[in-house]
């Protein structure tokens, strides 16, 4: 019998006491060596390091952190909406790198936009005593985070502001980006510009729609309400909405997609209608293959890296100085002109 049937680890992980015994010193000396404290003779240090090596000792940083002065665990929690989404994964990657450079680790979770899942994740993170939280808020109320914040766990909101709570925040210039898109289309001669967006309860969706409305309002005719479709939660819904919008009379000559999920549904619809070459289209959020589409997809790209870096920066800044005033960073977006945004208005209206 190689196994004894119990769950116990075959070899217990060595502690500083094991190392001390092996090195023939007191365990406090080991601790001193590991923490680079002064007052260790270099010969002793060598012995200790040798023992560490032989035993394959690894500091138990969870035991360490319960005793440390500031109780810090050198880990942060990150709640995104869906890690499988390119925006979220890029964000996570950036934050992780930023954290790792400072020897911090990142716990990640996807809320799927469900408030209960967000709270569950935050709860688990806090119970593991993360030093800080970066949250893409899902629910309609983040006031529950005030308790954590008051206990010295800073919170940074990303992509959308938290509700009913003051905290550092990083958002994209949503409205401005969509306005730019409208103006770009207007320059190409478009006046009938449709807009497909997510539920208005989602902050970014509301912001983007308001950008659309503001830009359209500046035009002579103003907006045709029928061209605006919101509440689109997934690609199939966007597909359907696009079909309906382009069945209108008169049909729009251009289309703006409020996020990348919607873009996928909408472009499929245009494809189905045989309109991809005739309808101008601008999408919010860049996509990996956007420039290989025909026509190449014009997009309003978010600067995910600046967003991630900004969030991490705010968080680590606050870890050092709790008393600084809350900041809100608005990260510019960039209109990447490719082909689909330059398709001219093909009908008689404006020629």
Partner DNA sequence: TTGTACGCGTTATCAT
Partner DNA sequence: ATGATAACGCGTACAA
State how far the Cα of 240 lies from the Cα of 94, in Å rounded to an integer: 35
CA 36 vs CA 33, 44, 100, 106, 139: distances in Å: 5, 13, 21, 25, 45
How far apart are CB 153 and a copy of itself at their closest, in Å?
Answer: 8
Of the candidates 235, 241, 237, 185, the one whose C-alpha atom is nearest the C-alpha of residue 215 is: 185
State how far the Cα of 141 lies from the Cα of 9, in Å rounded to an integer: 44
32 binds DNA (CB under 7 A): yes
188 binds DNA (CB under 7 A): no
Nearer to DNA by Cβ, of 34 and 336: the residue is 34
120 binds a copy of itself (CB under 8 A): yes
Q: Which of DNA, a copy of itself, none lies near 290, with the C-beta cut-off 5 to 8 A by kind?
A: a copy of itself
DSSP string, 313-351: HHHHHHHH-TTSPP-EEEE--EEE--STTTPPP-SSTT-
Of the candidates 192, 173, 168, 172, the one whose C-alpha atom is nearest the C-alpha of residue 182 is: 192
SS3 (DSSP) at 10: coil
210 binds DNA (CB under 7 A): no
Contact 158, 314 (CB under 8 A): no
Which of the 8 DSSP states describes residue 274?
Answer: T
Binding mask 229-268 for a copy of itself (x = CB under 8 A): -----------------------------------x--xx
Q: Which of DNA, a copy of itself, none lies near 41, with the C-beta cut-off 5 to 8 A by kind?
A: DNA
Contact 302, 283 (CB under 8 A): no
Q: Which of DNA, a copy of itself, none lies near 35, with the C-beta cut-off 5 to 8 A by kind?
A: DNA
25 binds DNA (CB under 7 A): yes
Nearer to a copy of itself by Cβ, of 53 and 187: the residue is 53
28 binds DNA (CB under 7 A): yes
272 binds DNA (CB under 7 A): no
Of the candidates 245, 264, 270, 236, the one whose C-alpha atom is nearest the C-alpha of residue 343 is: 270
SS3 (DSSP) at 264: helix
State how far the Cα of 285 lies from the Cα of 300, in Å rounded to an integer: 6
Q: Which of a copy of itself, DNA, none lies near 26, with the C-beta cut-off 5 to 8 A by kind?
A: DNA
Count of positions (residues) in the chain: 351
Nearer to DNA by Cβ, of 72 and 93: the residue is 72
State how far the Cα of 324 lies from the Cα of 43, in Å rounded to an integer: 46
User: What residues from 37 to 66 belong to the interface with DNA (CB under 7 A)?
Assistant: 38-41, 43-44, 59-60, 63-64, 66
User: What residues from 67 to 126 belong to the interface with DNA (CB under 7 A)?
Assistant: 67-69
Count the site residues for DNA by CB under 7 A: 28
Q: What are phi and psi of 39, to 5 degrees?
A: 70, 45
Contact 196, 242 (CB under 8 A): yes
Nearer to a copy of itself by Cβ, of 86 and 222: the residue is 86
26 binds DNA (CB under 7 A): yes
The residues binding a copy of itself (CB under 8 A) are 2-3, 5, 7-13, 56, 58-63, 65-66, 70-71, 73, 75, 82-86, 88-90, 92-93, 96-97, 100, 103, 105-110, 120-121, 123-129, 147, 150-152, 264, 267-268, 271, 287-290, 292-294, 320, 322-323
The residues binding DNA (CB under 7 A) are 12-13, 15-17, 25-29, 31-32, 34-35, 38-41, 43-44, 59-60, 63-64, 66-69
């Amino acid at each position: 019998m190689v196994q004894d049937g119990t769950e116990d680890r075959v070899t217990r992980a060595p502690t500083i006491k094991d190392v001390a015994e092996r090195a023939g010193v007191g365990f406090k000396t080991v601790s001193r060596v590991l923490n680079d404290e002064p007052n260790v003779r270099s010969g002793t240090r060598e012995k200790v390091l040798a023992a560490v090596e032989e035993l394959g000792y690894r500091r138990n940083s969870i035991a360490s952190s319960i005793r440390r002065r500031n109780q810090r665990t050198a880990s942060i929690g990150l709640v995104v909406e869906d890690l499988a989404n390119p925006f979220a994964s890029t964000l996570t990657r950036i934050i992780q790198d930023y954290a790792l450079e400072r020897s911090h680790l990142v716990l990640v979770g996807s809320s799927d936009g469900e408030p209960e899942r967000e709270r569950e994740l935050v709860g688990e993170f806090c119970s593991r005593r993360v030093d800080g939280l970066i949250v893409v808020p899902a629910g309609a109320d983040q006031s529950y985070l005030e308790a954590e914040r008051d206990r010295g766990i800073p919170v940074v909101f990303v992509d959308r502001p938290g509700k009913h709570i003051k905290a550092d925040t990083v958002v994209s210039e949503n409205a401005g980006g969509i306005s730019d898109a409208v103006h770009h289309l207007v320059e190409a001669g478009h006046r009938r510009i449709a807009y497909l967006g997510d539920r208005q309860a989602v902050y970014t969706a509301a912001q983007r729609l308001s950008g659309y409305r503001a830009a359209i309002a500046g035009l002579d005719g103003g907006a045709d309400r029928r061209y605006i479709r919101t509440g689109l939660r997934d690609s199939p819904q966007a597909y359907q909405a696009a079909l309906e919008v382009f069945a209108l009379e008169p049909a729009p000559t251009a289309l703006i997609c409020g996020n990348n999920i919607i873009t996928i549904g909408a472009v499929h619809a245009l494809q189905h209608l045989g309109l991809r070459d005739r309808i101008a289209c601008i999408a919010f959020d860049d996509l990996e293959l956007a420039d290989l589409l025909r026509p190449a997809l014009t997009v309003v790209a978010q600067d995910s890296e600046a967003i991630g870096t900004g969030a991490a920066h705010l968080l680590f800044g606050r870890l050092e100085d709790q008393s600084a005033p809350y900041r809100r960073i608005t990260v510019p977006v960039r209109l990447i002109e490719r082909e689909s945004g330059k398709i001219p208005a093909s009908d008689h209206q404006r020629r």
